[in-house]
Structure 1
Amino acid sequence: MEVYKLFLDILTPVHIGAGSEIEPYEYVIGEQFHKIDLSKLLLNLSSEDQKQFNKLLETNIIACREFINKKFQGKDCVLYSSQVSEEIKAFYKSKIADPRNQLIIHPFLREASCLPYIPGSSLKGSLRTALIFSLLEKDYSGKESGDILEAILLKCERGWLDRNQGLFITKGLDPQKDPFRCIKITDVMLPQNTTVIQRVDTINKKDGVIKSMDIQLIKETTHSEYTGTPFSIVTELRYDEQLLKTNRDIKKKVTMQEIMDSNKTLSGKVIDYELEKYFNNHPVSDVYKRLKGLWSGLNKNEFICRLGWGSGYNSMTVNLKLSRQKTVKTRKLINGLIPMGWMKGRIEKIKQE
């Protein structure tokens, strides 16, 4: 077993969603965002207040918001807290009594003890996408796509031999043959006070003009270097070379250098595309020029990658290698200026078990 450390500097805000939404009667915002333990809050209320809350919950959701805000009793009934942008603080105060605004918040993924974390599976998926991208020929125009194309590139096809045609008919990906079975990445807990509730803009480019689509999205994201609060995370990556030796079905060996190089390839293509074909002279191009400078100075064991919601279609697919590329006109930006999900990585071997 080869054991590596995976170091990640968070360059721009990352959002790994929990697949849930937080309604405004489930939280309050003061100096911080507080996710409320409604059960505890209700237990601490008088029986009269409990009856009033239950009635409001059924009949007047706006009054319910205001009731929770008024009766909030501090840390005793808080599941977890997060920092919140000044913009969202002001927005919350101005809209809490507005029935036209839902004030829904999309939280970061958290484990049972309510600590935010990035799953190792998400990191592994990001690295995998980059490898598939680098293995695909330029201007690919074949019929295969999705799982079948992935299976062919990673040499882990599932199918059968058609003896009449003398061809192997690929029907999909066989997990038992997947070379990424040899790679395990540990979940990584985020350091304390590294998430923030903030606005995400959806922008659209039409006829060369970039405009906000005025879609309200409030997300819990990480802080980041490019938003003024840099931090890093470290996790463990294990490569089981013994599995590769004993399982002859795994035909492709994936090396750490190949993973790093392929992430450089994909990130470089995306950065160039955003600079040259999307943002051009838009203020966001300054961020991509900064990323381009960082990319150009990477060491052999360093790479740039992208992770999470809002990373964009081109970063999560092989689109930029296709002869007929899909044109995606929208982007997600923090406060209309910062693209999401960019990280600088480094892999170092620490031991052999």
Structure 2
Amino acid sequence: MKIKKFRYEMEIISPTVVTSGNNINGFELIYDRRNDKVYVMNIMKLIKNSRRYIDAFFTFDYNSRDFRLENKLKEIGINNYLNYVKYELSLNGTSFKPNSIKEITKTSGKPYIPGSTIKGAIRSSLTRVLNRENDYKISLDETARRSNEIRNPEKQADNKAEERIFGSPNNSPFRLLRISDTETKDYSDLELYDVKVMNICNNRVKWYTRSGNVDNIEGATSIYVEAFKEGTILKGQLSQGFFETFKNINIAKREIESIDTVEGIVNKIRNDIDLYIDKEIEFYSNYHVDELVSFYRKLKSMQQQLRPNEFIIQIGFSTGYLPKTVVRNIDSRFIIKLQQIYRGRIYNDLFPKTRKIIIKNGKIYKPLGWVKIRLIES
């Protein structure tokens, strides 16, 4: 039985992050405006080495808008705070107002991208290529009728749709596709980014704040994330376990449903992403967001120049609904069913109507999560 094995190399095209679910709190951070950096402090080292810090720790008002860790450390005589830095994040045009930061996923303290995230993005793309979105819509319809009786109805709809398309999990072709986590990287491969939510209101671009939507980017609510910066290369392993064997036996019994789904994945993903890029160009053109029209046109050009073993895909935090769904054609009926499942958090006029965008130097920069993956047969 032959297992097809590949090494993969992932190049970051736009800042990319899979968050850990934790925040790095403001009291763990020092903002060095002069050097355009944010220092993540080793609080445990401070506690271990400084009795003065332990005594003062419980007196600090961490909720105060004026709280600055560096000032508090100086007040208690700790002037050499750089000795307690765990790592630093460069800003490079990011406007930072001391706040919490969404933490990237780490193992043994080092950042990486989980294989499950990469596989999830590939899985969605390959499923879209099957053009079986009616199966998803039927499952969505069935779930919507029972949404008040079901816990996590959105997850239930996804699970039911997958069963309609691939049968039980044991029969899914994706069990043959295995993708490892990437190698870990150094902190120097990370930067700090300011992410803001673009919202379309009455056919105009607005920016989300907790009190409403505003016209100016500067007034919008910031979500700070540490993410892999452009040009970073991450490596891992991909295998298609016993693909040829399963393909040639038990076909009549449908041992592996739609096994061809995981064959020739590079071209399939490229075709799917080509359609997605076209839709994003159309979306941003409609609302005159020239910076992002330009970004996606460059991405389209990059897509056309790929080598036969390369593809582009979007992964990770704040990439939105479209890269994760198997549905390409979102119509009004589909939106109504989503409203029933998501309890009214979806608007009739446009879905999805929001995008999370990186802001640099007060201007629109890039969307998150675009990567190029190269497969190298072992």
Q: 1:59 to 1:251 in 2, by over 3 A?
A: closer
Q: 1:111: which partner in 2?
A: 107
Is 1:328 aligned to 2:357, yes or no? no
Q: 1:24 to 1:141 in 2, by over 3 A?
A: closer
- How far apart are the structure 2 equivalents of 1:69 and 1:140? 62
Q: 2:25: which partner in 1?
A: 23
Deviations 1:82-132 (A, max 9, x none): 3233434xx44xxx5xxxxxx1111111112x1100001111111101111
Unpaired stretches in structure 1, ≥5 consecutive residues: 97-102, 158-173, 225-229
Is 1:337 aligned to 2:370, yes or no? no
Is 1:9 aligned to 2:25, yes or no? no
- How far apart are the structure 2 equivalents of 1:120 and 1:59? 37
* Superposition map of 1:107-256 within 5 A: 107-112=103-108, 114-137=109-132, 142-145=137-140, 146-153=158-165, 155=166, 157=167, 174-192=168-186, 193-213=188-208, 214-224=220-230, 230-241=231-242, 245=246, 249-254=255-260
Give the aligned residue type for 2:170.
Answer: Q
How far apart are 1:53 and its partner, in Å? 2.1
Q: 1:50: which partner in 2?
A: 54
Tell me the percent identity.
22
How far apart are 1:190 and its partner, in Å? 4.9
Q: 1:82: which partner in 2?
A: 89
Q: 1:207 to 1:151 in 2, by over 3 A?
A: same
How far apart are 1:182 and its partner, in Å? 1.8
Q: 1:61 to 1:51 in 2, by over 3 A?
A: farther
Is 1:276 aligned to 2:288, yes or no? no
- How far apart are the structure 2 equivalents of 1:309 and 1:78? 26
Contact 1:25 1:68 in 2 (8 A): no
Q: 1:273 to 1:86 in 2, by over 3 A?
A: closer
How far apart are 1:37 and its partner, in Å? 2.2
Give the aligned residue type for 2:221.
Answer: I
Q: 1:59 to 1:130 in 2, by over 3 A?
A: closer
SS at match of 1:136: coil
Stretch of structure 1 that moved more, 183-192 or 266-275: 183-192
Aligned length, in residue pairs: 314
How far apart are 1:338 and its partner, in Å? 0.7
Contact 1:140 1:323 in 2 (8 A): no
Q: 2:213: which partner in 1?
A: none
The Cα RMSD (Å) is 2.9
Contact 1:53 1:67 in 2 (8 A): no
Deviations 1:262-320 (A, max 9, x none): 32233112211111133443221100111111223334332221101121211111232
